[in-house]
């Protein structure tokens, strides 16, 4: 067996390219495939099969009758043309994209800002901020949803009370969930509040890996803070930034639970649907599985389109 | 010098940091605070900023609710199955990805990332039908089965970063001493992954603990609900919303997670970063 030298890599974070592990010369070794088998099998059963099923359904007429045993007939692209011809779908799509981009952009901006801020704080404040981030991060989504509904409650909510106290009398007793604009404002605040801590921790973890002497040298060379940020910090943390951006876009586009539960307050479901809740409504509530499946596939396609550039860049950068 | 900022800039940063921290901690504080005040204080139009009208009554209500205990059992059971299965499968898979170069390896790595993009809603209907056809609706096993598949890719992603960090030489010298390949994996590498296993295990635990939608689709009977379903059902039970009870229940649901997070906070961020840097 050939042993190529591999440098020992500590479990922590090492910026830059790691050396690939020693390549194994023996051809057709079945061991890696056997090792992968359980993971691949369970993913195929849990997600591969349902996805295939769903793709098939997207090309079938499939509603409650078929659910109870009537054979489903193939209808070609009928479901897709119905979705694409529905103005409610386009409105929902626009809403979802806008919500996703606003949330992802603000989350990244606040998260990066927060991480850089952490490096400038005195020890006590830094510990406090990290503790706050940790607590917010740890909150289960359902717990957060309950407290946010309470904070924005129209009767006893602290937000309405504070705004009224600040002189905005119209805000006393205001129902945030009855108007699409304020509904999404609350949803965005919640989503951003939940997502920022991960970004802060990941970016902070990689910022602290930056070689201090590089920063010192560049200061001696007369580089200012912004220049340092662009030319030293960003390239070093680029892989992490890419990964977080991809994840944020994916997560914010498929947001479901938050919207679904907040919708129970307002009674304006139609005007506050995002893609996830739209699919749920058409499929599970409406019983039109064929159209719902087609919509879900379109949603997957959009996610791929949105993230593809980042994903390929990421795969190139992090040597796989 | 950029490394030693002036006192003025430093205190400006500290004040910004303080405001930032306060904003982020507020909802958590508000949750705990409102779980500890009387109904009168909750109903009042003026919010109580401190738990002055203190009471444990809401916690008593929750702890005397048999549905809470059944939901707790269900959530813990599911999370436990998911953690054990996901870690085991992900350990094998990340050994394969980290220690071998084989045909199809790159496809597996790309799939791990792309799988995260599949909208969960895209699979509900067929997942429901699949579980239904196995007669596993409303069961711990049925839900766990789907959760394991959903968390394995992410667990592989994290764990691989840690496996990459354990030098191959250690395994090789164990093999020279007569250990089998699998024996080397389990006796040498596995113990060295301690923090990686903890970190990725916690992620799997959290995913299962927090998941709402799939549980909503699969579990309909009263005694098979998980904690997220229970807390959401709590508001619908009585005519008037019992906000105190909801706050107490939400705090209790968050407690195990917060404890876990505090234990392994550093390792988790590192695990994610390691995954990102090493691909």
CATH at residue B132:
1.10.3720.10
Distance from the Cα of B166 to chain A's closest Cα (Å) equals 7
Closest CB to B115: pick one of A43, A128, A204.
Answer: A43
Residues in B closer than 8 angstroms to A247, CB to CB, are 116
State the pLDDT at residue A21: 54
For A140, list phi and psi in degrees, rounded to 5: -60, 145
Q: Please judge whether B261 and A146 are an interchain contact, meaning their C-beta atoms are less than 8 angstroms apart.
A: no
Query: Measured between alpha carbons, how far is B275 from A244 in angstroms, rounded to an integer?
Result: 11
Confidence of residue A254 (pLDDT cuts 50, 70, 90): confident
Residues in A closer than 8 angstroms to B95, CB to CB, are 35
Task: Kindly report, residue by residue over B166-187, the tens digit of the pLDDT.
Answer: 888 888 888 988 888 888 888 8
Do A120 and A212 touch, CB atoms closer than 8 A?
Answer: no
Residue B157 inside a domain? The answer is yes
Domain match, B126 and B263 both: yes
Distance from the Cα of B80 to chain A's closest Cα (Å) equals 17
Domain match, B74 and B160 both: yes
Domain match, B210 and B240 both: yes
Residue B60 inside a domain? The answer is no
Q: Among all residues of chain A, which has the CA nearest to that of B181?
A: A31
**Which of A27, A30, A32, A298 would you mutate first to test chain B, the one with the most B CBs within 10 A?**
A32
Q: Please judge whether A142 and B212 are an interchain contact, meaning their C-beta atoms are less than 8 angstroms apart.
A: yes
Confidence of residue A16 (pLDDT cuts 50, 70, 90): very low
Mean pLDDT, residues B207-231? 92
Helix (H) or strand (E) holding B265: helix B243-278
- The dihedral through the CA atoms of B178, B181, B186, B188 has a sign that is positive
Residues 6+ apart with CB under 8 A from A213: none
Residue B263 inside a domain? The answer is yes
Structure tokens, A121: 């704080």
Residue B40 inside a domain? The answer is yes
Q: Please judge whether B100 and A32 are an interchain contact, meaning their C-beta atoms are less than 8 angstroms apart.
A: yes
Do A197 and A134 touch, CB atoms closer than 8 A?
Answer: yes
Domain match, B95 and B33 both: no
Q: Among all residues of chain A, which has the CA nearest to that of B87?
A: A39
Domain match, B119 and B6 both: no
Do B54 and B117 touch, CB atoms closer than 8 A?
Answer: no
Domain match, B104 and B20 both: no
Do A226 and A287 touch, CB atoms closer than 8 A?
Answer: no
Share of chain A above pLDDT 70, in %: 90
Residues in A closer than 8 angstroms to B118, CB to CB, are 47, 51, 300
Q: Among all residues of chain B, which has the CA nearest to that of A193?
A: B24
Residues in B closer than 8 angstroms to A148, CB to CB, are 27
Q: Please judge whether A3 and B275 are an interchain contact, meaning their C-beta atoms are less than 8 angstroms apart.
A: no
Do B207 and B86 touch, CB atoms closer than 8 A?
Answer: no
Q: How many domains does chain B have?
A: 2
Q: Please judge whether B146 and A46 are an interchain contact, meaning their C-beta atoms are less than 8 angstroms apart.
A: yes
Which domains are delineated in chain A? 75-317 (1.10.3720.10)
ipTM at complex level: 0.86
Residues 6+ apart with CB under 8 A from A184: A95, A99, A272
State the pLDDT at residue A10: 39
Q: Please judge whether B125 and A283 are an interchain contact, meaning their C-beta atoms are less than 8 angstroms apart.
A: yes
CA dihedral of B82, B88, B91, B95, whole degrees rounded to 10: -140
Residue B167 inside a domain? The answer is yes
Distance from the Cα of A315 to chain B's closest Cα (Å) equals 7
Query: Measured between alpha carbons, how far is B86 from B102 in angstroms, rounded to an integer?
Result: 23
Do B257 and A157 touch, CB atoms closer than 8 A?
Answer: no
Return left, alpha or beta for A287; rule: phi > 0 is left, psi -120 to 50 is alpha, else beta: left
DSSP B178-216: T--HHHHIIIIIHHHTHHHHHHHHHHHHHHHHH--HHHH
Q: Please judge whether A142 and B228 are an interchain contact, meaning their C-beta atoms are less than 8 angstroms apart.
A: yes
Helix (H) or strand (E) holding B246: helix B243-278
Q: Please judge whether A49 and B130 are an interchain contact, meaning their C-beta atoms are less than 8 angstroms apart.
A: yes
Say whether A290 sits in a helix, a strand or coil: helix
Residue B222 inside a domain? The answer is yes
Mean pLDDT, residues A93-108? 96
Closest CB to B127: pick one of A31, A50, A126.
Answer: A50
Q: Which domain holds residue B23?
A: 1-55
Q: Among all residues of chain B, which has the CA nearest to that of A150?
A: B243
Does B1 score more than 70 pLDDT?
no
Domain match, B132 and B32 both: no
Domain match, B90 and B44 both: no
Q: What is the pTM of this model?
A: 0.85
Mean pLDDT, residues B89-115? 89
Residues in B closer than 8 angstroms to A202, CB to CB, are 269, 272-273, 276
Q: Please judge whether B21 and A43 are an interchain contact, meaning their C-beta atoms are less than 8 angstroms apart.
A: no
Does A19 score more than 60 pLDDT?
no
Residue B63 inside a domain? The answer is no
Domain match, B10 and B111 both: no
Average pLDDT of chain B, as a whole number: 87
Residue B209 inside a domain? The answer is yes
Query: Measured between alpha carbons, how far is A248 from A241 in angstroms, rounded to an integer?
Result: 10
Share of chain A above pLDDT 90, in %: 44
Residues in B closer than 8 angstroms to A156, CB to CB, are 42-45, 47, 243
State the pLDDT at residue A13: 39
Structure tokens, A203: 């970016």
Q: Please judge whether A24 and B100 are an interchain contact, meaning their C-beta atoms are less than 8 angstroms apart.
A: yes
Closest CB to A125: pick one of B1, B18, B247.
Answer: B18
Does A3 score more than 50 pLDDT?
no
Query: Measured between alpha carbons, how far is A94 from B105 in angstroms, rounded to an integer?
Result: 37
More reliable by pLDDT, B118 or B103? B103
Domain match, B25 and B142 both: no
Task: Tell the residue number behind the tokens 């191959």, with chain if given.
Answer: B168
Domain match, B232 and B94 both: yes
Domain match, B40 and B79 both: no
Residues in B closer than 8 angstroms to A228, CB to CB, are 2
State the pLDDT at residue A212: 77
Confidence of residue A7 (pLDDT cuts 50, 70, 90): very low
Does B252 score more than 70 pLDDT?
yes
Task: Kindly report, residue by residue over A265-316, the tens digit of the pLDDT.
Answer: 877 888 999 999 998 888 878 888 889 989 988 988 888 888 888 778 777 7
Closest CB to B261: pick one of A43, A134, A148.
Answer: A134
Q: Please judge whether B96 and A125 are an interchain contact, meaning their C-beta atoms are less than 8 angstroms apart.
A: no
């Amino acid at each position: 067996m050939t042993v190529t030298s591999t440098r020992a890599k500590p479990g922590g974070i090492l910026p830059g390219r790691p050396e690939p592990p020693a390549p194994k010369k023996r051809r057709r070794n079945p061991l890696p495939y056997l090792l992968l088998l359980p993971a691949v099998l369970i993913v195929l059963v849990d997600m591969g099969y349902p996805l295939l099923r769903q793709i098939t359904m997207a090309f079938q007429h499939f509603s409650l009758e078929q659910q109870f045993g009537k054979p489903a007939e193939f209808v070609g692209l009928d479901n897709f043309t119905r979705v694409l011809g529905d103005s409610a779908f386009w409105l929902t799509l626009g809403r979802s994209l806008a919500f996703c981009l606003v949330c992802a952009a603000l989350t990244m901006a606040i998260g990066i800002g927060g991480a850089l801020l952490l490096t400038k704080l005195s020890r006590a404040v830094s510990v406090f901020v990290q503790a706050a981030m940790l607590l917010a991060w740890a909150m289960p989504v359902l717990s957060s949803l309950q407290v946010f509904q309470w904070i924005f409650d129209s009767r006893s909510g602290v937000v309405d009370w504070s705004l009224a106290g600040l002189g905005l009398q119209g805000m006393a007793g205001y129902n945030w969930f009855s108007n699409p604009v304020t509904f999404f404002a609350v949803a965005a605040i919640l989503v951003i509040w939940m997502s920022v801590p991960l970004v802060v921790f990941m970016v902070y973890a990689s910022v602290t890996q930056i070689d201090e002497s590089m920063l010192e040298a560049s200061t001696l060379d007369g580089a200012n803070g912004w220049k340092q940020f662009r030319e030293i910090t960003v390239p070093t943390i680029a892989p992490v930034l890419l990964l977080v951006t991809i994840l944020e876009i994916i997560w914010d586009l498929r947001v479901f639970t938050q919207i679904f539960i907040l919708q129970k307050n307002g009674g304006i479901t139609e005007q506050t649907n995002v893609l996830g809740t739209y699919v749920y409504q058409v499929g599970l509530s409406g019983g039109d599985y064929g159209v719902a499946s087609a919509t879900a596939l379109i949603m997957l396609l959009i996610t791929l389109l949105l993230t593809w550039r980042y994903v390929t860049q990421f795969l190139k950068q992090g040597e796989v | 010098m950029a490394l030693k900022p002036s006192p003025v800039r430093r205190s400006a940063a500290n004040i910004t940091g303080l405001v930032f921290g306060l904003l982020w901690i507020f909802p958590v504080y508000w949750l705990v605070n409102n779980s500890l005040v009387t109904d009168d204080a909750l109903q009042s139009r003026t919010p109580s900023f401190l738990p002055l009208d203190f009471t444990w009554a809401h916690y008593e209500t929750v702890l005397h609710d048999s549905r809470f205990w059944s939901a707790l059992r269900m959530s813990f059971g599911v999370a436990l199955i998911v953690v054990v299965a996901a870690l085991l499968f992900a350990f094998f898979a990340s050994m394969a990805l980290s220690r071998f170069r084989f045909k199809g390896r790159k496809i597996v790595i790309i799939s791990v990332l792309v799988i995260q993009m599949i909208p969960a809603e895209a699979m509900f209907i067929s997942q429901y039908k699949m579980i239904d056809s196995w007669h596993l609706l409303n069961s711990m096993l049925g839900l766990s089965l789907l959760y394991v598949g959903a968390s394995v890719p992410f667990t592989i992603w994290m764990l691989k970063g840690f496996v990459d960090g354990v030098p191959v030489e250690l395994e090789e010298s164990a093999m020279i001493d007569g250990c089998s390949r699998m024996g080397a994996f389990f006796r040498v590498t596995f113990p060295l992954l301690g923090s990686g296993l903890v970190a990725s295990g916690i992620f799997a635990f959290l995913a299962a603990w927090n998941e709402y939608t799939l549980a909503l689709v699969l579990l309909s009977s009263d005694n098979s609900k998980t904690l997220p379903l229970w807390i959401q059902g709590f508001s619908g039970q009585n005519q008037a919303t019992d906000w105190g009870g909801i706050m107490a229940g939400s705090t209790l649901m968050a407690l195990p997670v917060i404890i876990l997070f505090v234990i392994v906070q550093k390792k988790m961020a590192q695990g994610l970063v390691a995954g990102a840097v090493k691909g």
